[in-house]
A and B are shown apart, each in its own frame.
Chain A
Amino acid sequence: MKEQPIMQVRNLVKEYPVHGGIGRNRQGAAVKAVSDISFTIRKGETFSLVGESGCGKTTLGRCLVRGIEATSGQVLYYTDEGVEVDFLQAKKQEYKAIRQNIQMIFQDPYSSLNPRMTVYDIISEPLRALSTLTKSEIDERVVEMARRTGLNISYLRRYPHAFSGGQRQRIGIARALITNPKVIVCDEAVSALDVSIQAQIINLLKDLQQQYQMTYVFISHDLSVVKHISDRIAVMYLGRIVELAPTEELFGQPKHPYSEALLLSVPNPDPTVRRERVILQGEVPNPANPPEGCHFHPRCPYKTALCETSAPELRDAGEGRLVACHHADQLKLKGITEAIPV
């Protein structure tokens, strides 16, 4: 059922200019925060992007929603009629139409709500900017959305400073959903919240996904958050996808050494079970100056001479999986289910 594509990312690149020392910018120097990424998001699924901090998840997410302009590449969006439109090139009316369908939930519920606007103004802003609804229609939608996201109607005339992180995130969700979008990019939507509240918000997001048949692109640095909600997971390292696989398969048997390392660094919720932990060695390399060959080789326990010189392509590894490792077929990597003796 979840086979139809809703978005397709093609060769997306985002570079940030680097300021070299004092004075003039060094010509051409740039951080490739996202370098040549391609993947497809299927209608109705939850697609997760995971990776260590600084690997370019936020940048990728923001390019998808066009919060920042990508340096090059395409973000194709498939409308209900099955028409393929490049969102990054869309103008005027077309832009407005797709814009309503692609929204974002932010990581920090404090800085993502304008402290000078009432909750009503915050939630209704996308509708006021994008739709032609009348005032009372907007009011109705806002009240309905407040209900669905668990906000009291009397909260609507308050300002954000009246609320805790969890409630603020509900406001952010209500705002993102007010235009009935098809795709929501959740950038670390729960990372800033207390653990007890994380679960509430995740459940809310799941319920809303059911109700409105939305597609989620869920960004997180934490695999344990992603595990229970994702259909497929893309593991990112230094601006590239190194592995893409359905959740079960990725957790059961990762094919990229970096995925294995990430999986095994997830703390086990059951303290009686001891897990052999492969702690990632070394630092994340500077993205402005990435290593030669496979970007992961300086930290990889399985590296060979080949890895130091040649960068592996992201290739098909069967069962709907993609992996970027020269030795993916030979390596026998440990997933979580394997490492835990039952």
Chain B
Amino acid sequence: MKTRLSGTTSWSRLFFRRPATNNAEESYYAASHWKLMLRKLMKHKLARISLYVLAMMYLMVIFANIIAPQGLDSYDSENLNSRPSKLHWVDPQGNFHFIPFVYGLKSSRDPVTLRKIFVEDKQKWYPIQFFVKGTEYKFLGLIPGNVHLFGVEDPGRIFVFGTDSLGRDLFSRIVLGSQVSLTIPLVGVSISFFLGLLIGGISGYFGGFIDTVIQRVIEIIRSFPTLPLWMALSAAIPPRVPIVHMFFYITIIMAFIEWTELARVVRSKFMALRNEDYVMSARISGVSNARIIRVHLVPGFMSYLVVTMTLAIPAMIIGETAMSFLGLGIRSPAASWGVLLQEAQQMENVALYPWKLIPLGFVIITVLAFNFLGDGLRDAADPYK
């Protein structure tokens, strides 16, 4: 045995090389925690669907300028409160068009209410075109461009979700608004993540007096009613600040409340893991404290932290939407879904132009998707069961 073992062969190379017969069983046995977690997550149907939905949402965020046919500031004073355009495939002559088209619009009055409405002008139709030139924008704030995914030729108009009271295309504004509504929670959660990891870690590691103080502070922060807190904090924001700063302030306000939950998860997991046998075993094996934290404790609760973070995002989305809806958050000319919903504050607006509630649908879908994903992750966080 001795002779076979001696020599300069690096054994690690020998057994870390993938075996030639890489059957499914072996790949399961050699699967790391994250791999197992992903595997289990993908078995959770709702979570999988949510993952796809969210992937689409964030693709929309990235390519927002291209997907939106109009810019954020574009408006059309001819088409105030216009209903969503209808797509047609069959023209008045009964010919079928493979590419759908929209009719031109002409305004008229409702014979009963005498309100201004738009009717389709069947004389003019405009087929949908792809990759048309339109409003100038900067892709990702850097690369200038003017190509939009779809559009119709002037003077035709396509309003997928109708227009608002200033004649701005709601679809374009939802798509562009998602850049704010869907990134604030991510940035906010990242800030909360660092605060939570740091403060929760300190609390759980040192325990005793420090822990008590931190826990009391967290309780105080969590017992604030959110609405007055938002009002107070946003009152502290100067009235005329650049959009970027505004975005930053709102994120901080959201994170200021959210980190407490993450800190609690970190602390309790830290305390639970500290008493695990394998941590004791590492100590007996002479592993240093710093390394125990890094190798044994932090990875142990990272999956739970990911779950908590995912479940914290919906609260942030709703928070930002509510703040902006109340005029405490993002302000025009910047747009977020909450800003778009401001028009739905008056009942009559909703009754007459129900499409103005469409941004709400986006909020709900996103929030649900994050919740389902979080649920799936929670089930998958302990993949050994």
Contacts and interface: CB of A to CB of B under 8 A. Distances in A.
Q: Which of B15, B26, B30, B276 has the most CB of A within 10 A?
A: B15
A152 B26 CA distance: 13
Contacts of A118: 30
A175 B11 contact: no
Given A108-B277, A140-B5, A125 B285 contact: yes
A139 B277 contact: no
A111 B276 contact: yes
A126 to B, nearest CB: 4
B286 A157 contact: no
Interface string B22-59: 00001011111100100000000000000000000000
A96 B9 CA distance: 29
A78 interface: no
B306 to A, nearest CB: 14
Interface in A92-146: 96, 99-100, 103-104, 106-108, 111-118, 120, 125-126, 129-130, 135-136, 139-140, 142-144
A62 interface: yes
B206 interface: no
A133 to B, nearest CB: 13
B90 interface: no
A112 B277 contact: yes
Interface string B202-231: 000000000000000000000000000000
A273 interface: no
A111 B11 contact: no
B11 A159 contact: no
A303 interface: no
Contacts of B31: 159
Interface string A221-260: 0000000000000000000000000000000000000000
B236 interface: no
B281 A112 contact: yes
Contacts of A76: none
Nearest to A125: B285
Nearest to B31: A159
B11 A143 contact: yes
Contacts of A129: 285-288, 291
Contacts of B288: 129
Contacts of B9: 136
A175 B285 CA distance: 9
Interface string A143-171: 11001000001101111011000000000
Contacts of B28: 162
Interface residues of B, number: 38
A290 interface: no
B277 to A, nearest CB: 4
A112 B282 CA distance: 9
Contact of B280 (A67, A116, A153, A158): A67
Contact of A159 (B15, B30, B278, B286): B30
Contacts of A275: none
Contact of A103 (B5, B29, B284): B284
A106 B30 contact: no
A245 B277 CA distance: 31
Contact of B29 (A107, A135, A162): A162
A65 interface: yes
A66 interface: yes
B112 interface: no
B156 interface: no
Contacts of B134: none
Given A96-B286, A144-B5, A116 B300 contact: yes
Contacts of A154: 15, 19
User: Which interface residue of B281, B286, B291, B296 has the most chain A CB atoms within 10 A?
Assistant: B281
Given A147-B1, A162-B28, A157 B284 contact: no
Nearest to B281: A112
Contacts of A100: 286
Interface in B252-305: 276-278, 280-288, 291, 295-296, 299-300
Nearest to A103: B284
A320 B31 CA distance: 54
A265 B278 CA distance: 33
B286 A130 contact: yes
B11 A140 contact: yes
Contacts of A157: 15-16, 30
Q: Which of B286, B291, B299, B300 has the most CB of A within 10 A?
A: B286
Contacts of B29: 158-159, 161-162
Contact of A135 (B10, B26, B282): B10
Contact of A104 (B10, B284, B300): B284
B98 interface: no
Contacts of A116: 32-33, 299-300
B8 interface: yes
A140 B287 CA distance: 21
A232 B336 CA distance: 76
Contacts of A115: 33, 384
Given A147-B1, A157-B30, A159-B31, A125 B287 contact: yes
Contacts of A103: 284-285
A130 B278 contact: no
B12 interface: yes
A161 B282 contact: no
Interface in A282-326: none
Nearest to B25: A162
A106 B285 contact: no
Contacts of A120: 12, 15
Contacts of A144: 1, 5
Contacts of A156: 15
Interface in A163-214: 172, 175
A158 B19 CA distance: 12
A112 B284 contact: no
20 contacts: A65-B284, A67-B283, A103-B285, A106-B281, A111-B278, A112-B277, A112-B280, A114-B296, A117-B295, A118-B30, A120-B12, A130-B285, A136-B10, A139-B12, A140-B6, A144-B5, A147-B1, A159-B31, A162-B29, A162-B30
Given A130-B286, A135-B12, A158-B30, 6 more contacts: A111-B277, A120-B12, A125-B287, A135-B10, A154-B15, A154-B19
Interface of A: 62, 65-68, 96, 99-100, 103-104, 106-108, 111-118, 120, 125-126, 129-130, 135-136, 139-140, 142-144, 147, 153-154, 156-159, 161-162, 172, 175
Closest 8 CB pairs of A and B: A162-B29, A139-B11, A126-B285, A112-B277, A158-B29, A129-B286, A130-B286, A114-B278
